[in-house]
Amino acid sequence: MNMKAIAGIAAALACSAVYADEIRNYRAEAVAMLKRDFKTKGIATADRVHEDGLQAVCNRSGDNPPKDVAARLEKDQLESIKYPADGKLMGDWKAGEKLAQSGRGMTWSDKAGVPGGGNCYNCHRIAPTETSFGTLGTSLYQFGKTRGSGPDMQKYVYGKIYNAKAFNLCSAMPRFGHAGALTEQQIKDLVALLLDPQSPVNNK
C-alpha cells in the first residue's frame, strides 16, 4: 500500500474518531440536561431519566445489538414476566376497550396507586370504530380472529403487554407490567380486547 493511500485511511479514521467524540459529547450534554432540569414532582420521580442496562444496550447500538446479546437479554426479560397466579389470562374486553382509549396516568398530577390507561390507540389500530389511531405499532385489528385465542396465544399476548422487550429487545412498546404502569387485571382486560371473539376487534 502506498503512502498516499495510508494517509487517506489515517485521515478517514481521524475524522470518524472526531465525529464519534462529538456524538458522545452531545449525548452526555443531553443526559446532563435531563438530569439537571427534570425534578421529582408527585409520582413523576427523577429516576425516570436514568436508563437501565437493557435500555443502554439498545440506545448505544442504534436498536440493533449483537444477536447473541439480544437473545440473552430477551431470555432474562421473558423470565421476569409475572403471570397471574390464578392462571386466568383473559378479562373483560369492554374494560379493555376503555383502557385502550385512555392515555391518563403516570404524570405528576396523578395520585399514587390510581390505575392509569393503556393509550393503545396512540400506536395501534385496534377496533374499526376508532377513526384516530397511530401507526408506530402494527395493526391489531382482527388479531384474535387471525391468530386464534387459545392458551398459548393468551400467554403470548399477556407477556407481550407485560414486557414487550422479552420478545423484541429494542421494541418501542412500553414494558407496561414490568414498569407497574398497568395492573394484572388491566393486562387481562387488554388480552380479552384482542382475543375475545365478541370484542369489536374480532367480530366486525
Q: Does domain 40-204 have CATH number 2.60.40.10?
A: no
**Of 184, 203, 204, nearest in space to 95 by CA:** 184
Collapsed DSSP state (helix, strand, coil) of residue 41 = strand
On the question of pLDDT at 80 being above 70, the answer is yes
Task: Find the mean pLDDT for residues 69-73.
Answer: 93
Residue 51 is predicted with a pLDDT of 80
Residue 20 is predicted with a pLDDT of 55
Residue 47 is predicted with a pLDDT of 78
Contact 124, 134 (CB under 8 A): yes
Place of cell 421529582: 40
What angle do the packed helices 67-79 and 53-60 form, to 10 degrees?
150
pTM here is 0.81
**pLDDT exceeding 70 applies to what percent of the chain?**
88
Task: Find the mean pLDDT for residues 145-154.
Answer: 96
At a CB cut-off of 8 Å and minimum separation 6, what does 8 contact?
A: none
**pLDDT exceeding 90 applies to what percent of the chain?**
56
User: Apex CA 77: angle with CA 74 and CA 83, to 5°?
Assistant: 130
Tallying the residues shown for the chain, one arrives at 204
